[in-house]
Amino acid sequence: MKRRDFIKMLGLTALSTGIPFPALMAIAAETTRVLPIAPLLRPEDGRLLLTVQEGQTTWFGRKVKTWGYSADILGPTLALRKGELVAMNVQNRLPESTALHWHGLEVPGIADGGPQAMIPAGGSWKPTIRVDQPASTCWYHPHPHQRTGFQVAMGLAGMIIVEDETSDALALPKTHGVDDIPVVIQDKRLDENFQISYAMDVMTATVGWFGDLMITNGAFYPHHEAPQGWVRLRLLNGCNARSLRLACSDNRPMYVIASDGGFLETPIQVHQLDMLMGERFEVLIDLGSGRDVDLLSLPVRQPGMNIPPFDQSVPVLRLQPNSKPGHRSMPKALVKLPAIPSHQHLPIRYIDLSMDHWMMMQGMRELRDRFGGSMGPMMGGGMMGAGMMGGGMMGGGMMGRGRGMMGRGMMGGSGGDIWKSNMINGRAFTMNYASFDVKVGQYEKWIVNGSDMMLHPFHVHGCQFRILQENNRPPLPHRRGLKDTVLVQGGESVILVRFKHQAPPERMYMAHCHLLEHEDTGMMMSFTTSAAKTRR
Ligand code: C2O
Ligand code: CU
Ligand code: CU
């Protein structure tokens, strides 16, 4: 798509959602933004300071109130090394309390930063972290119960890069911000005053908060100049509720080299890359030809996420090769992943994600009323048809194992309380309630079931797991490495988990849907981990 056409398209969209006309000119002025690269923050004398603060960001020539970590929006990229001991100091200068979670880091519950670890306004939190996992791209974000969606929407999120001997040795692009590029993709919605417009209501509790513009590292459709060669993108889907399908505008392949928890065994070629909220993938893209390419966001099958402009492909980042020679080759092999142990006789846990039926129907109706038209494109085909009415709910969900919709959604449910409209195993999140205890070091098989057809990225704190089955299917090749998030959408996913560290009742690990409005309205549970009794 030509840039001019894109602007025109966005203009129309903007008009239809109420952003005033002068914005269009400003949008045009914005289209040559350089991709912002957050500063790398390394521990100094083993210490790291992050200040959670209010700020402002200029979009479309207007000043927008945003929040950031030691920044106006987003935060520095934390550069950590395996084995390192880091004393974190998180200072909360927001007008409200927050919590800070290291998503993907395998740290003890006491340092994990779940909703039990609230930092009051003006307060601080000082966990010590031992970096104890392979090289990977992780991230950090707020986690206060019922406020996570809002605080992330305001701009709070940052990347974490863990390096180790393996990543040192691999012949990959490594010049940070040049050919090794962090890319945080998020959608936003602004009101008529150009301020972030967040609302929690029946509709957002159902489909999530979604925007009508996409920002990349805090900027609108930025471009990045890179040497002529392979570039490595460290992609993060930092959206509240939107799953992404990424592709190159000229359909050139991307090679996935790492998932949430670290490197894959070999690069895996893909032409489209689906990313759930919270997921990270590292990909290599070849700029050796010297030709520009746009990273596109393509339409996805998720209710609410096909509303214009996202019923079309939308460019989110332009990559422009300069005249400098770049990284020439891509390694054939990366790492050896630990073999998946035999899982015949492992302890099994059933985890059922569900939504209040009545609330969900209200939410879908509101989506249709507010954003109009036929539900066709929004539903992405199959949502209502095969899914809700047919096999999905009745089969696995409703009747199967007696853990389905009947007990809660339809009869009991939330009683109209929006904050309890989403559930795990029939219970909306209850602070300080432990669902179960897992022994440290013990492999377990978790069977995660979705009794509705909504998209639920199921995320577990404190571990990097392996996916044995993803929404009724064997996982795609690039989803077979270390993961902390798995897709559940009307089907059953099976993950193999193991925890290295303890999480006591006062600082439990969380497992939740990473559609943040589902999480905030109850689709989250806590659990403890404890030392295994030593047998003689
Ligand atoms: Cu990224 Cu508990 O979350
Ligand atoms: Cu997490
Ligand atoms: Cu969900």
Ligand 1 contact via 101 beta carbon (within 6 Å): yes
CB distance 299 to 502 below 8 Å: no
CATH number of 353's domain? 2.60.40.420
Asked if residue 524 is part of any domain, the answer here is yes
Q: How much is the mean pLDDT over the chain?
A: 89
pLDDT of residue 344: 85
Q: What string of DSSP letters covers 302-360?
A: STTTTSTTTTS-EEEEEEEEEEEE-B----S---PPPPPPP-TTS-EEEEEEEE-HHHH
Asked if residue 431 is part of any domain, the answer here is yes
pLDDT for 374 beyond 90:
no
Residues with CB under 5 A from ligand 3 (ion): 456, 513, 515, 518
Edge-first strand order for the sheet with 509-513 is 434-439, 524-530, 509-513, 456-460, 485-488
Asked if residue 81 is part of any domain, the answer here is no
Ligand 1 contact via 145 beta carbon (within 6 Å): no
Q: Which amino acid is at 314?
A: V
In angstroms, rounded to a whole number, what is the distance separating the alpha carbons of residues 159 and 280? 10
Q: What string of DSSP letters covers 355-387?
A: E-HHHHHHHHHHHHHHH-S-SHHHHTTTIIIII
pLDDT for 24 beyond 70:
no
CB distance 452 to 424 below 8 Å: no
Pairing of strands 40-41, 77-81: parallel
Residue range 309-313: average pLDDT? 92
Short-list 320, 518, 505, CA closest to 419: 518
CA angle 319, 321, 324 (to 5 degrees): 145
CB distance 494 to 448 below 8 Å: yes
pLDDT of residue 380: 39
> pLDDT tens across 38-55, in order?
999 999 999 999 999 999
pLDDT of residue 31: 58
pLDDT bin (cut points 50, 70, 90) of residue 76 is: very high
Could you tell me the distance, in angstroms and rounded to a whole number, from the CA of residue 169 to the centre of ligand 2? 28
pLDDT bin (cut points 50, 70, 90) of residue 414 is: low
pLDDT bin (cut points 50, 70, 90) of residue 437 is: very high
Asked if residue 449 is part of any domain, the answer here is yes
Its domain, for residue 353, covers 348-530
Residues in the chain: 536
Ligand 1 contact via 510 beta carbon (within 6 Å): yes
Cis ω for the linkage preceding 303 (within 30 of 0): no
CB distance 217 to 155 below 8 Å: no
Ligand 1 contact via 461 beta carbon (within 6 Å): yes
Ligand 1 contact via 512 beta carbon (within 6 Å): yes
pLDDT bin (cut points 50, 70, 90) of residue 60 is: confident
Asked if residue 178 is part of any domain, the answer here is no
Residue 39 to residues 52, 71, 76, 79, 369: CA-CA distances in angstroms? 16, 10, 5, 10, 43
Asked if residue 445 is part of any domain, the answer here is yes
Could you tell me the distance, in angstroms and rounded to a whole number, from the CA of residue 390 to the centre of ligand 1? 32
In angstroms, rounded to a whole number, what is the distance separating the alpha carbons of residues 132 and 207? 36
pLDDT of residue 30: 55
Pairing of strands 230-237, 180-188: parallel
Q: Quick one: CA torsion of 17, 18, 22, 27, rounded to 10 degrees?
A: -20
Asked if residue 462 is part of any domain, the answer here is yes
Domains of the chain: total: 1
In angstroms, rounded to a whole number, what is the distance separating the alpha carbons of residues 123 and 113? 14
> pLDDT tens across 149-196, in order?
999 999 999 999 999 999 999 999 999 999 999 999 999 999 989 999
| 8-state DSSP, 483 | B
Could you tell me the distance, in angstroms and rounded to a whole number, from the CA of residue 278 to the centre of ligand 1? 7
Q: Which amino acid is at 505?
A: P
Could you tell me the distance, in angstroms and rounded to a whole number, from the CA of residue 514 to the centre of ligand 3? 7
In angstroms, rounded to a whole number, what is the distance separating the alpha carbons of residues 123 and 95? 11
Asked if residue 522 is part of any domain, the answer here is yes
